[in-house]
Every structure is written in C-alpha cells, then in structure tokens.
Amino acid sequence: MANPEHPAILEQGAETWNDWRRTSAAQPDLRNVSLFDSKSIKLADESPLFHPVSPDRMSVRATRSLAGIDFSCALLNGSQFDLVNMSGANLEGADLGGALVKVVDLREANLSGAKLHARITLPGGRLTHGTSFIGCLMEGASLDRSSLTGATFENCRFGGADFSEANLNNNRFINCEMGQAKHLHTVRSYGHSAVDHRTLERSPNLPKAFLRLVGLPDAFIDNIPAIFGSPFEFYSAFISYALPDEEFARRLSADLRDNGVRCWFAPEDLKAGDRIMNTINDAIRVQDKLIVILSKHSIERDWVEHEVKQALKAEVERGRDLLVPIRLDNAVFECGFGWAKEIRAAHRPSGRHIADFTDWKNHETYGSAFEKLLRDLEHRESGDS
C-alpha cells in the first residue's frame, strides 16, 4: 500500500509535490492510489479533462492538473490515473506495473526507463497485469528504453513519441495512431505483440522492422498498403556516403524510414554472402532516388563516385532525375575537378541544388532541413514515375 503521507502531499498540487521531491530523498510511494477519486485526492476540476468530439478523438479542456509533475522512480504499482493532465510529467524510472492510465494527457511526458511490466506483487505469487493506457494522448512522449512488457495501448495517439530501444513483449496496440511515432524500428522485442487492423489502418507506413518484431509475417506486411488502400507516398531511396559520415547516414536512414520512406542502406540491407558491387548496382537500379551525402570525405571516395555515376547512368536510361545531393560541409563548393564539380555547377546542365545539412547536430536546424528533404521525396503523380 501507499505511504499515507505521500498522497497527502500530492493533494496539495504539483508545485508542492515537486518542491518536496527536490528536498526529500524519500522514494515516492503511491501504490494502488486512485488519482481521480475526489474522495481521496482532488486533482481535477469538475469539468472533465477530455471531451469526446468523435468516437476516436479527444480534445483537452483546461483543468487543474499534474502537468510537469516529478514522478521519477516513484512506486505507482496498481495506481489509477483518470481524466488527469500529465503533460510534461517526469515518469523516468517509475514503476507502473498493473497501473490503469485512462484518458490521460501524456504529451511530452518522459517515461524513459519506466517499468510498465507485469510483476509479482502479492504473497502467493499472484501476478499483476501489465499497465493499460486507454484513450491517452502520448504525442511527443519519451518512451526510450522503457520496459513496456505486457502493456496495453488502446485508442492512444503517439504523434512524435520516441520509442528508441523500448522493450516490447506481449503488448497490445488497439485502435492507435502510431504513424508519426519515432524510432519504432529500434524497439527490442522479446515476444510477439498484437497490432490490430484499426491501428494498421490509422498508422500508414509503419516501419517494416517494427512490424516484423511484433510478429507479423512478411507476406502480410508487403500487402498492407494494398489492403488498406494506402500506397507508399514517397520515392524510395539509396543512400550513398563515405564511412566517416556513417553516424549522419544512420540517423538519416532511420528518420526517413520512420517517416515512411523505403531506404536501401548498406549496413542494414547487405546480406551475408552478397557480392557487394553487384548488389549495390542492383539496388541503385531499383530505387527511385539516390541520396548522396557530400562531404570532404565522400568527394574523395572512388566508391561514392561509382555509385553517383551509376545513378547518372540510370537517369539517362529512365529519362528523369534520380540524384538527390545533400552536403555536410562546403567541400563540394571548393572542389575544382571531377564529378562533384559537375553536380554543384549551377551554370551547367548537370548542376543540381544541394540541400544544406551542415548544422545537422543542431536538432532544430536538422529538423527543418529534414522536413524539406522529405517534401522533395514526395511522390508526385506525373509522367516521371
């Protein structure tokens, strides 16, 4: 059971609670506390936090809330959250085994390392079910490295939520919007999960790696666009780069895949035993675009030059542009010879506009450049397809 002093502190509001967290070394203990029952803790106004505007959408009403509250490392086993605004809350490392989180605003909340898994909590080995999230807004929430084992997500919205290296096992995703969630391809699965048809219909272009990890067969995954009438919206792309730029190339590949762009990226797509040159040439031929990452390293690499020339050859054969150059520095403008000069020379017929990713380690600048690149990769209905 909960420490009786802790619910009393929480009842005084988020500011009082957070002040107490800053000055106390005690581990918050709110096990089995109902955080919507007005008889125990008054957390919300009489008007509900969410007002249903359609069967599958919710809108937020103003309320006195738990926004920004610090629940890090708290014991929340069996707790119940209902009609509570917890946007921006810190639940890092919290233990929510068996909790019920119903119609709660968790936008921008931090659940990094949180434990949502089933666990033995009572004498005799009785097992508590995994956490249930029902009707929750989780847009922008941080779920990286969370243990989500046994958790159920029903009618939840995950726009921009970060799933980096989250652990899945026996999860249920029911009628959820997941299409804009980030880094789903990096989740770690220790057993199959259930993703219902409504989630697939509402979440176009989920990464194939994620769908495989939850247990869907390749034959079904390949037919999802046809089944749900949502053909791929973007050109596919081959990513050409030099090894010293691999950190950026991996980030770009992951973000493109998260946004529904089919990419061919050598470290992930080359299979053991493949003849490298033949495989790369074949991959370039079947992709719609070749993204070449220009830098002081790549313009000196024969390998990158070969890939670019293969793309230029394919352009002639197909009668349309394939090459999408982006740069990490100014080396391409300082090069006075060869293929890089031809690409950059705006006054020449072969000259191309080069997207600027020079400040790619700045999150905001990278985001702006990436959004522009994504628009450039949109498939337009025209004769060039």
pLDDT tens, residue by residue, 109-130: 777 766 665 443 333 333 345 6
pLDDT > 70: percent of the chain: 81
Position with higher pLDDT, 54 vs 85: 85
Residue 163's nearest CA partner among 230, 215, 214, 222 is 214
Average pLDDT, the chain: 77
The tokens describing 225, both together, are: 């666009």
Q: What is the pLDDT of residue 223?
A: 79
Residue 382: HSE in the Cβ half-sphere, 13 Å Cα cutoff: 6
Distance CA 95, CA 316 (A): 59
* Among 31-40, 160-169, 215-224, 242-251, the range of highest mean pLDDT: 242-251
Of 257, 207, 237, the C-alpha closest to 379 is 237
Domains of the chain: 1-231 (2.160.20.80), 237-376 (3.40.50.10140)
Top-confidence residue, 86 or 170: 170
- Find the Cα–Cα–Cα–Cα dihedral 96, 98, 102, 108, rounded to 10°: 20
**pLDDT of res. 56:** 40
Tell me: pLDDT of 372 over 60: yes
Output DSSP code: residue 351. -
Mean pLDDT (whole number) for 58-86: 69
pLDDT for residue 128: 42
pLDDT digits (tens, 9 = 90+) for 268-312: 887 777 788 888 888 887 788 899 999 999 988 888 988 988 888
Q: Is the pTM of this model over 0.85?
A: no
Q: Reduced to 3 states, what is the DSSP secondary structure of residue 196?
A: coil
pLDDT tens digit sequence for 196-237: 999 998 887 788 888 888 888 888 887 777 787 655 567 788
Closest alpha carbon to 102 in 42, 152, 162: 152
Tell me, letter by letter, the H, E, C secondary structure of 102-121. ECCECCCCECCCCECCCEEE
Residues 6+ positions from 97 with CB-CB distance below 8 Å: 77, 78, 115, 116, 117, 118, 119, 121, 128, 130, 131
Calculate mean pLDDT across residues 15-31.
87
CA distance 121 to 300: 61
Q: Which residue has the higher pLDDT, 339 or 293?
A: 293
311-334: burial string, b at 16+ Cβ within 10 Å, e else = bbebeeeeeeebbbbbbbbebbee
Please tell me the predicted confidence (pLDDT) of residue 264: 86
